[in-house]
Amino acid sequence: MTIQWFPGHMAKAKREVGEKLKLVDFVIELVDARAPESSQNPMLRQMLQDKPRLVVLMKKDLADPKITDQWMEFFKRQGSPAIALNAQDKKDIQSLIQQAKEMAQHKMEKLKAKGVRPRPARAMILGIPNVGKSTLINRLANKKIAKTGDRPGVTTSQQWIKVKKDFELLDTPGILWPKFEDEEVGYRLASIGTIKDQILPTEDVAAYILDYMKNFYPELLEQRFGFSGFNDMIEAFEKIGQKRGCLESGGRINYEKTADVIIQDLRGGKIGRISLEVPQDI
């Protein structure tokens, strides 16, 4: 199955990113800590080429901390510095600012040697939709500049944002790639909410989450839903639907409502800290 989703504003944003890359000293690429590889855009990686890149693993408070540490080491081996971040944590924000200043230091020294007047370091901030980009920008700027939302595609234009006197950020809309050839990538992104809910059937996404938990997080399945294993998906949906009151007239289980409960529990961290992929899968 090939999943296609490439709205017109994303095609425009891709062109603009290519044009503006020469204006920045380095790139800050945001990924979701629960699926760092799947939430990277391979199309952007091709565009960046030799431009220095800082990888920020967003929403670390929702991801499995042991797996996040493995991903940090993975990116380091690839030659890209990485930092895991909770946008609500002031210490994490300060760590990111410090890391960004260090990223730009070499470029600033080169400009100074050429006699160029000092200026703030310039970075482009990139990421796929709903990865937490607008929330992070508002935290960095310490005021509400970028629109935020719990759905993909809130940011639709580029803007420069000053971060104190340290550096300037060029915000860009979230950009997905034209199609997902790997079905599992699509399900991971649908599970964490980075593609629109209409792209994949809600019940299929919920079934993917339950199956993954059964295999890798049975203890969290037990804690949240009261069972750690199941023989078939209908049985699992009925147990959860009954427990959470997802019922229709006559006491029948509403499977769509049950699926929504499962998905929202994952996205909101109510199930627990879960990572949907590990570096060994790459």
User: Does residue 233 sit within a domain?
Assistant: yes
C-alpha 152/C-alpha 239 separation (Å) is: 31
Closest CA to 176 of 34, 24, 44: 44
Q: Quote the pLDDT of residue 4.
A: 61
Indicate the pTM of the whole model.
Answer: 0.87
27 and 160 share one domain = yes
Q: Quote the pLDDT of residue 7.
A: 60
139 and 14 share one domain = yes
Residue listed under structure tokens 């059937």: 201
User: Does residue 19 sit within a domain?
Assistant: yes
Q: Quote the pLDDT of residue 148.
A: 46
Q: Quote the pLDDT of residue 176.
A: 66
CATH number at residue 214: 1.10.1580.10
Q: Quote the pLDDT of residue 152.
A: 41
The residues, any chain, with a CB within 8 Å of residue 200's CB and separated by 6 or more, are: 3, 186, 187, 190
Q: Quote the pLDDT of residue 161.
A: 84
Q: How many CA atoms lie within 13 A of 34 on its CB side?
A: 26
86 and 160 share one domain = yes
- Give the chain's residues under pLDDT 70: 1-11, 13, 143-158, 173-174, 176-179
Q: Quote the pLDDT of residue 14.
A: 73
C-alpha 30/C-alpha 136 separation (Å) is: 10
Residue listed under structure tokens 């997080």: 217
Domain of 20 in residue numbering reads as: 3-179
Quote the number of domains for the chain.
2
92 and 226 share one domain = no
Q: Quote the pLDDT of residue 181.
A: 75
Q: Quote the pLDDT of residue 108.
A: 80
Q: Quote the pLDDT of residue 168.
A: 87
Q: Quote the pLDDT of residue 42.
A: 78
User: Does residue 193 sit within a domain?
Assistant: no
175 and 208 share one domain = no
CATH number at residue 32: 3.40.50.300
222 and 109 share one domain = no
174 and 239 share one domain = no
Q: Helix/strand/coil (H, E, C) string of 127-167?
A: ECCCCCHHHHHHHHHCCCCCCCCCCCCCCCCCEEEEECCCE
Burial of 111 (0-12, 13-18, 19+ CB in 10 A): middle
User: Does residue 192 sit within a domain?
Assistant: no
User: Does residue 281 sit within a domain?
Assistant: no
Q: Quote the pLDDT of residue 214.
A: 96
